[in-house]
Protein backbone atom coordinates (compact mmCIF):
# COMPACT_ATOMS: atom_id res chain seq x y z
CA UNK A 1 0.00 0.00 0.00
CA UNK A 2 1.17 3.51 -0.79
CA UNK A 3 0.50 6.81 0.90
CA UNK A 4 -1.63 8.95 -1.43
CA UNK A 5 -1.59 12.74 -1.45
CA UNK A 6 -4.15 14.41 -3.72
CA UNK A 7 -3.85 17.91 -5.19
CA UNK A 8 -6.71 20.39 -5.05
CA UNK A 9 -7.54 19.62 -8.70
CA UNK A 10 -7.91 15.92 -7.84
CA UNK A 11 -10.03 16.68 -4.82
CA UNK A 12 -12.48 18.59 -7.01
CA UNK A 13 -12.83 15.61 -9.35
CA UNK A 14 -13.11 13.16 -6.45
CA UNK A 15 -15.95 15.21 -4.96
CA UNK A 16 -18.03 14.51 -8.09
CA UNK A 17 -17.43 10.75 -7.96
CA UNK A 18 -19.50 8.22 -6.09
CA UNK A 19 -18.04 6.64 -3.00
CA UNK A 20 -17.69 3.36 -4.89
CA UNK A 21 -15.65 5.04 -7.64
CA UNK A 22 -13.44 6.70 -5.04
CA UNK A 23 -12.74 3.35 -3.39
CA UNK A 24 -11.97 1.74 -6.77
CA UNK A 25 -9.47 4.51 -7.48
CA UNK A 26 -7.80 3.99 -4.10
CA UNK A 27 -7.59 0.24 -4.80
CA UNK A 28 -5.97 0.83 -8.20
CA UNK A 29 -3.41 3.28 -6.84
CA UNK A 30 -2.74 1.17 -3.74
CA UNK A 31 -1.99 -1.91 -5.84
CA UNK A 32 0.17 -0.04 -8.37
CA UNK A 33 3.36 -1.92 -9.22
CA UNK A 34 6.33 -0.17 -10.86
CA UNK A 35 7.76 -3.49 -12.05
CA UNK A 36 4.90 -3.87 -14.54
CA UNK A 37 5.82 -1.25 -17.11
CA UNK A 38 2.80 -2.02 -19.31
CA UNK A 39 0.66 -0.64 -16.48
CA UNK A 40 1.81 2.99 -16.82
CA UNK A 41 3.39 5.66 -18.96
CA UNK A 42 6.17 8.04 -18.02
CA UNK A 43 6.29 11.75 -18.81
CA UNK A 44 9.10 14.17 -17.98
CA UNK A 45 7.84 17.70 -17.60
CA UNK A 46 9.81 20.60 -16.07
CA UNK A 47 12.45 18.20 -14.71
CA UNK A 48 9.83 16.14 -12.89
CA UNK A 49 8.96 12.56 -13.72
CA UNK A 50 5.22 12.00 -13.82
CA UNK A 51 3.69 8.59 -14.15
CA UNK A 52 0.52 8.28 -16.21
CA UNK A 53 -2.00 5.66 -15.28
CA UNK A 54 -5.18 4.97 -17.23
CA UNK A 55 -8.22 4.26 -15.12
CA UNK A 56 -11.79 4.11 -16.45
CA UNK A 57 -12.42 7.43 -18.23
CA UNK A 58 -9.56 9.22 -16.47
CA UNK A 59 -5.84 9.73 -16.76
CA UNK A 60 -3.97 9.95 -13.47
CA UNK A 61 -0.69 11.87 -13.36
CA UNK A 62 1.41 11.39 -10.25
CA UNK A 63 4.93 11.50 -8.84
CA UNK A 64 6.52 8.86 -6.66
CA UNK A 65 8.74 9.72 -3.70
CA UNK A 66 11.37 7.29 -2.53
CA UNK A 67 9.28 6.45 0.54
CA UNK A 68 6.31 5.07 -1.50
CA UNK A 69 4.34 8.29 -1.33
CA UNK A 70 2.33 9.10 -4.43
CA UNK A 71 1.62 12.75 -5.08
CA UNK A 72 -1.38 12.67 -7.40
CA UNK A 73 -1.20 15.97 -9.26
CA UNK A 74 -3.87 15.58 -11.90
CA UNK A 75 -6.94 13.44 -12.44
CA UNK A 76 -8.04 14.36 -15.95
CA UNK A 77 -10.85 12.92 -18.09
CA UNK A 78 -9.47 11.08 -21.12
CA UNK A 79 -9.59 12.56 -24.62
CA UNK A 80 -9.90 16.13 -23.33
CA UNK A 81 -8.01 19.25 -24.17
CA UNK A 82 -6.42 19.31 -20.70
CA UNK A 83 -5.10 15.78 -21.12
CA UNK A 84 -3.55 16.76 -24.44
CA UNK A 85 -2.04 19.91 -22.89
CA UNK A 86 -0.26 17.89 -20.26
CA UNK A 87 0.98 15.10 -22.54
CA UNK A 88 2.18 17.50 -25.25
CA UNK A 89 4.12 19.57 -22.68
CA UNK A 90 2.30 22.74 -23.69
CA UNK A 91 2.43 25.60 -21.19
CA UNK A 92 -0.43 25.88 -18.71
CA UNK A 93 -1.09 26.99 -15.18
CA UNK A 94 -2.92 25.23 -12.37
CA UNK A 95 -6.08 27.30 -12.76
CA UNK A 96 -6.32 26.31 -16.41
CA UNK A 97 -6.17 22.58 -15.65
CA UNK A 98 -8.76 22.89 -12.87
CA UNK A 99 -11.30 24.19 -15.38
CA UNK A 100 -12.51 22.29 -18.40
CA UNK A 101 -11.04 24.64 -20.98
CA UNK A 102 -11.32 24.51 -24.72
CA UNK A 103 -8.67 25.14 -27.33
CA UNK A 104 -9.94 28.69 -27.89
CA UNK A 105 -9.87 29.52 -24.18
CA UNK A 106 -6.31 28.21 -24.06
CA UNK A 107 -5.26 30.55 -26.87
CA UNK A 108 -6.84 33.48 -25.04
CA UNK A 109 -4.75 32.74 -21.93
CA UNK A 110 -1.58 32.72 -24.01
CA UNK A 111 -2.28 36.25 -25.24
CA UNK A 112 -2.20 37.62 -21.69
- pLDDT tens digits along 8-24: 888 988 998 999 999 99
Q: Are 71 and 63 in contact (CB under 8 A)?
A: yes
What is the average pLDDT across 64-85?
82
Query: Please, which pLDDT band fits residue 32 given cuts at 50, 70 and 90?
Result: confident
Residue whose C-alpha is closest to residue 103's, from 76, 73, 86, 80: 80
Checking if the pLDDT of 37 tops 70, the result is: no
Report yes or no on whether pTM surpasses 0.85.
no
**Above 60 in pLDDT, residue 77?**
yes
User: Would you say 45 and 58 are in contact if contact means Cβ atoms under 8 Å apart?
Assistant: no
Q: Could you tell me the residue ranges of all domains in the chain?
A: 3-111
Give the pLDDT of residue 9.
85
Give domain 3-111's CATH architecture.
2-Layer Sandwich (3.30)
- Mind listing the pLDDT tens digit for each residue in 56-70? 888 898 888 777 788
pLDDT for the residue numbered 18: 92
Amino acid sequence: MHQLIFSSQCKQILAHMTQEQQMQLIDVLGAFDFTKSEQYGKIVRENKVYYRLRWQDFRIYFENDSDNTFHIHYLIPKHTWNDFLFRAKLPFDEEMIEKDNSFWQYLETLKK
